[in-house]
Chains A and B, each alone.
Chain A
Amino acid sequence: MKRSYSFLNSNSKKRTKTIDDSTKKSSLTLNSLQFFFVESKNLFINYLHMPPIIFKHQLYSLTSKNCTLIDRELQEMFNQNQIRLFHSDLGIILMFTNDYQLLVEQQLNENNLSSLSIEKNRLKQRLTQDLLPNNKRLSIDKNSLENGFDLNTNDIHLLIQLGLLLPKQIDQYWFSIPNLASFVTCIEKGRRTLIQILSRRTYREIPMNEFRLRDTKTKCLLGFDYHIHDVIGANLAHVIDAPTGPIVKMGPEKV
């Protein structure tokens, strides 16, 4: 289980040190979150036109040791309403709350699905001020939406159409991020590219330094680090520590 991403860690330390001074809170999770955030912020805005989204398993992959600690710290941040967690088919994803609120407002303003602007404003207020801060979890049921937050069936339909709610089961909805399609495509493309490079090698393994030099810019839009941690975290590859540096090998880690 012992891994040392020596080069990555040094990299992340350099980056997070400057941020730490401003936030004045140093926790493992926050550091690694900031690492991904800084790394991919510009790329997210340029290519996908949305604020950065980070996978939970990427954090496991970066710190590689203490998953329990990460879980607890993330839950604490979620409870303090700093971040929001979402369910997705690729794994649990997370986003900073401020970013999400901006996204929600933008989504409600831009779309012309509902004609009445007053109704939209009401919905927006309800959503950003009541619903989201009071529901620190991944899913919500119809009953509490209707009774607790005073939304009627039309409102719920509108939210589903806008991509803010996602049907989970009968009368149950996931909270979700709108317009995720391009992000999912991007992630899957990146995974496919990296796995393809690995599977073409003789022993399905490649030194990390050599991997980094490969030309993946057109396929891995969100940066090499973002994608490689996604692949490792999703158990499609694992890292072996060798004297010459870390080596990425395909397949889940053998026990």
Chain B
Amino acid sequence: MDKYRVPNRMNLLRAREYGLENSFVHIEQTRRIADFTLCKYRSLTPFHHSSICTMCLEQSECRYLLSGDASGHICCHDMFPSSLVATHPVIFRIDRNSNRDHHTHKVCSLIWYPNDNGLFITLGLDKKLKIWDTNRVKMADEYEFGNFAYSAHMAQTSNTSLVAVAHENGDLRLIDIRTGSNSHIIHSHNGKGICLVKWFNNNPNLLASGGADGRVLFTDIRSSRTYYMILDPDNVSTDNPQVKPRTTTASTSSVAHTRGIKSLEFLPDNSHLLTLGADSHMYLWNVNSGQRLLVNYGRMPTDNVRIKTLACTQMKHDRTKSLVYVPCGKSICAYDILSGERLTTLSGHLVSVSTCIYNRLSIELYSCSDDILVWAAIKKQQENYELSIKTQERRPETTRSLAQILNRDQWSDDDDEV
């Protein structure tokens, strides 16, 4: 926790006066990410009637928040004025009253197009993947599958048009939204299915997939092999150089987690991966070598949420200052990624939390269970605001009683005379 505290504000100011310290902004940001509180006076216009499964924040402006719920309704909130008191309006909604092409089942994945916010992609449990035009709120394209799909992801690098879809029978389907082809299938996992798929942050050709049997595979879509690396918690191949690269069939059965994968998240520095499994462990991996870094986060109680989304933050100037927000039951735990220390616990939800999203521009955290809450480092402002409300409430009472005013005036007169 000390890592995230401000060293000494007076010294810092003095150093800045002499031009010694130019990381003032960074220090303030670091303090803020470890000090989130619930924003009581910010609310989102309520729309969803069932529990919210997934959310996605658009990355170009960090402004529009898509959320999809268990009955297939999708809506978009404008999160922009991040002031102390705000009600965020609904920009558009997709439900059975307003749109013919709505999802009929639970929404599994929502993806914003990484380059701009004119397009987004939704995946539902009705075995359909739909591509939407944001400005007209109209469906542009639709893909229907023969199997359930649990997760979809689009590469975050520019000029890609590939969407990866994880199927319940272990197939990994690649969809090129430019040409509309959806026939490329990679049989990487066995019949138990894939839970999650994620593209690498910095490479449009590599993707990581987590299976229901606990295996995590890295696949290169250009090569004909099904995968090029499998994560192994014992670090067999990475620690012992005498063991040859895994080509034998026997060694391919190593599992990263003993039960299914619940979350895969690449850190912003592109060289680490966090995986959360249903065996209530979270592991940190080096992406380049496939080595498990020995960080012990302790037990994480997992519940029956199928896919959890973690929110990772990392300070650009100092890579060691990185935090992850993990949904643990009804609360959200913040862990320091590299030391595994638990810093804070945010509690405010009434049912189990499924998704956390970090807004890097306004330094806020959004989390959803049956409603969406906003967390930010505004403890002091909020207290001041509460105080000001209380004093405002008191003022009319004092004006009402005439005698008091008269008395007060007399007192003040007396004071003046003295």
Q: Which residue numbers of A lie inside 8 Å of B, CB to CB?
A: 1, 60, 66-68, 70-72, 75, 79, 134, 136-139, 141-144, 169, 171-172, 235, 252, 255
Contacts and interface: CB of A to CB of B under 8 A. Distances in A.
Contact of A138 (B234, B294, B342): B234
Contacts of B243: 144
A36 B347 CA distance: 37
B298 interface: yes
A21 B112 CA distance: 62
B277 interface: no
B345 A255 contact: yes
Given A68-B296, A171-B250, 6 more contacts: A60-B296, A71-B295, A137-B234, A137-B235, A255-B329, A255-B347
A1 B236 contact: no
Contacts of B333: 255
A143 B251 CA distance: 9
Nearest to A56: B296
B58 to A, nearest CB: 31
Nearest to A75: B294
Contact of A136 (B240, B296, B297): B240
19 contacts: A66-B341, A67-B340, A68-B295, A68-B340, A70-B296, A75-B294, A79-B239, A134-B242, A137-B235, A137-B236, A137-B239, A169-B253, A171-B250, A172-B250, A172-B253, A255-B328, A255-B329, A255-B333, A255-B347
Residue of B297, B299, B333 with highest tally of chain A CB at under 10 A: B299
Interface string B292-333: 001111110100000000000000000000000000110101
Nearest to A171: B250
B248 interface: yes
Contact of A252 (B236, B299, B339, B340): B299
Interface in B212-256: 234-236, 239-240, 242-243, 248, 250-251, 253
Nearest to B300: A255
B239 A235 contact: no
Given A138-B234, A255-B301, A72 B294 contact: yes
Contact of B296 (A71, A79, A252): A71
B: contact size bracket: 20 to 34
Given A169-B253, A172-B250, A255-B345, A139 B234 contact: yes
A18 B339 CA distance: 31
B242 to A, nearest CB: 8
Contacts of B328: 255
A109 B243 CA distance: 31
Most A-side CB within 10 Å, residue of B240, B296, B331, B347: B296
Contacts of B250: 141-143, 171-172
B186 to A, nearest CB: 24
A136 B240 CA distance: 8
B43 to A, nearest CB: 25
By Cβ-Cβ distance, the 10 closest A-B pairs, closest first, are: A67-B296, A68-B340, A141-B250, A71-B294, A137-B234, A68-B296, A71-B296, A143-B250, A72-B294, A171-B250
Q: Which of B328, B329, B341: most chain A CB closer than 10 A?
A: B341
Contacts of A136: 239-240
Interface string B357-385: 00000000000000000000000000000
A67 B298 contact: yes
A171 B253 CA distance: 10
A235 B236 contact: no
Contacts of A169: 253
A252 B243 CA distance: 40
Contact of A255 (B242, B248, B331): B331
Contacts of B339: 68
A235 B253 contact: no
A235 B328 CA distance: 16
A101 B129 CA distance: 59
Nearest to B342: A1
Contacts of B341: 66, 68
Nearest to B338: A68
A72 B284 CA distance: 13
Interface in B266-303: 294-299, 301
A138 B234 CA distance: 7
Contacts of A66: 341
Contacts of A71: 294-296
A218 B253 CA distance: 44
Contacts of B298: 67
Nearest to A141: B250
B301 to A, nearest CB: 7
A42 B252 CA distance: 43
Contacts of A70: 296
Nearest to B235: A137
Contacts of A255: 301, 328-329, 331, 333, 345, 347
A68 B292 CA distance: 12
A70 B240 CA distance: 21
Contacts of B301: 252, 255
A141 B240 contact: no
A93 to B, nearest CB: 15
Contacts of A60: 296
Nearest to B236: A137
A235 B294 contact: no
Nearest to B333: A255
A138 B232 CA distance: 12
